[in-house]
Amino acid sequence: MTYMKSYKEWLDNPYFDEETKKELLSIENNEKEIEDRFYKNLEFGTGGLRGVIGAGTNRINKYTVRRATYGLANYILNKCGEEGKQKGVVIAYDSRFKSEEFSTETAKTLAACGIKAYIFDSLRTTPQLSFAVRHLGCVAGVVITASHNPPEYNGYKVYWTDGGQVCPNIAEEIIQEVNKIEDYSTIPTTNEDNELITLLDETVDRAFIDAVKEQVIRQDIIDKVGKDMKIIFTPIHGTGNLPIRKTLDEVGFKNVAVVKEQEMPDCKFSTVEYPNPEEKAVFDIAISMAKENGADIIIGTDPDCDRVGVVVKNNEGEYVVLNGNQVGSLLVDYLISNKIDEIKTMNNPTIVKTIVTSELGANIAKSYGVGCVDTLTGFKFIGEKIHQYEIRAAHVANDCVRCSKHEEVATFIMGYEESYGYLVGTHARDKDGVVSALLISEMAAYYYDKGMTLYEGLQEVYKKYGYYKEELKSITLKGIDGMEKIKSIMSHFRNANIEQIADIKVEELRDYKEGINDLPKSDVLKFILEDNSWIAIRPSGTEPKIKFYFGCNGEEKTEVDNKLNSIMEFITNTVENI
């Protein structure tokens, strides 16, 4: 069906409500807009849906949410049958526009298919959804969120029985079920008061916070300085406000101030351009507060509270944002050094990071005798590793002589990625802003007790392991033309036989589309240079972007800065000429 036929079908079919038709009539003279909304179905990718809110097959709306849910329901029914129906699906949502509505629509379609649905009475964090899947014994979970995207976006992420986001093998089968659905009017739904829909009480909240508190490493340090160290926290209008402040208070951090202007849920994210803790601008109000009260640390979480940003004072007394690689490396060093006696007793203790994350954390771990495993980009792959380690450990415990993977048994210590996502503990199987905020505060307290800032702690790490610097460059290319441009860029770097980048020899080109180290095949390229610098290139799986990751290291900052700038300039000039 062409985009115009699809557009007219939505206007003529009584299945679609009048509000939707009114929106579509408002663009009847704008063929380019009609094309963009209807030239394809909003793709159910390896994690679910994400798109601009609006009417049309290439937008996220209650109809595309129902379609995704019907595909998920059919997969559950085919794979799990009656057991899947009884275990049910737990659903959470964040503070975005239409999140609650999409959550309800998800529950109604599941119930119409005979599958139990558990919904929260108000917004909850993504890591709590991950926790709730296993805590409630559900077959799957869904969270309605577009993470840190602009306000016009929303999304739909699917989790499986282990509490992790669905990985490619399951996702592909769900995608097949979703793609079978061509006629929206055949998708079942029911009323909100259906007996298969259960409203959850606060017991899941209590269990989640208790599980997070179990990850405290140095309660003695918190008891000593927790009342004195000044923390400013901002949930950036999202879900993190209540669980993070409650957790910090209960463990002993009593000097926590919230950014009032950003405290309450707001689907417009009215104080920021993007609700992304990777952007320094989201901390402008918090930094103003910090300058007034002399705060020691600022912590901010994105709308669904899985990413965490950290602001600390540098040596000149200015507040600076630490990036995800820096915070992750600091956490690796703090966690391992303060639990080293316990870690030494573990079976192959291991941290897990992504292929686009700095090597600094890996080198720190190795210096303590802790292993490091790389996964593809996306925390779902880190969650998958946790699940694999548990299965293999169970095989060993049960003396499974037929298991051929005993040598891969490992104990998960920590997982993290450069995009501000961290997980300590196995209570969740996704990056967790709540446990991260707790342990970052504890780590800051550790340095505070030594008369140091986190920034000074980072400089100590650099002195010991060398100076590391990473950068990310994203290029947004929207629509059909943008999609073709992204394909052309990937094709060029894959096939151009580039031997040098900024006068540094290319030692290796890793094409993850071919499959590397037993990782799933993925459209990612990584250039390894002879001085251990690296460049990774990948199209975003959730946005119309292509991303370039850069990493360099050396003995001192000026050397690394110059090298990184030269590499980035080479790549930028190459892209402009494609």
Query: Over the stretch 40-51, which tens digit does the pLDDT of each residue have?
Result: 999 887 778 999
Output the CA–CA distances (angstroms, integers) from residue 523 to 22, 173, 539, 540, 546, in the order listed.
39, 19, 7, 10, 11
pLDDT at 449 over 70: yes
pLDDT at 401 over 60: no
pLDDT tens track for 527-546: 999 999 999 999 987 678 99
Q: Virtual CA dihedral for 111, 117, 122, 123, nearest 10 degrees? A: -110
Phi, psi of 394 (to 5 degrees): -65, -40
C-alpha–C-alpha distance, residues 311 and 290, integer Å? 10
For 486-505, what is the mean pLDDT?
94
pLDDT tens track for 107-131: 999 999 999 999 999 999 999 999 9
pLDDT at 244 over 90: yes
Whole-number percent of the chain with pLDDT over 90: 90
For 184-209, what is the mean pLDDT?
96
* Predicted TM-score (pTM) of this structure: 0.94
Give pLDDT, residue 115. Answer: 98
Tokens 């202007």 -> residue = 261
Output the CA–CA distances (angstroms, integers) from residue 62 to 150, 158, 568, in the order listed.
19, 16, 42
Q: Where are the alpha helices (DSSP H) in 164-218?
A: 168-179, 203-213
pLDDT at 13 over 60: yes
Query: Residues with catalytic annotation?
Result: 147
From the list 296, 281, 312, the residue with the least C-alpha distance to 459 is 312
CA-based end-to-end distance of the chain: 33
Tokens 């800065």 -> residue = 561
DSSP assignment letter at 407:
G
pLDDT tens track for 199-213: 999 999 999 999 999
Q: What share of the chain is helix, strand, coil (3-state, %, to 5)?
A: 45, 20, 35
Tokens 């800032």 -> residue = 453
Q: Check: CB of residue 34 under 8 Å from CB of residue 6.
A: no
C-alpha–C-alpha distance, residues 527 and 325, integer Å? 19
Q: Check: CB of residue 161 under 8 Å from CB of residue 341.
A: no
Give pLDDT, residue 396. Answer: 72
Give pLDDT, residue 478. Answer: 85
From the list 396, 337, 435, the residue with the least C-alpha distance to 125 is 435
Q: Check: CB of residue 129 under 8 Å from CB of residue 427.
A: no
For 61-75, what is the mean pLDDT?
98
Q: Check: CB of residue 125 under 8 Å from CB of residue 194.
A: no
Higher pLDDT, 574 or 405: 574
Q: Check: CB of residue 66 under 8 Å from CB of residue 156.
A: no
pLDDT at 310 over 50: yes
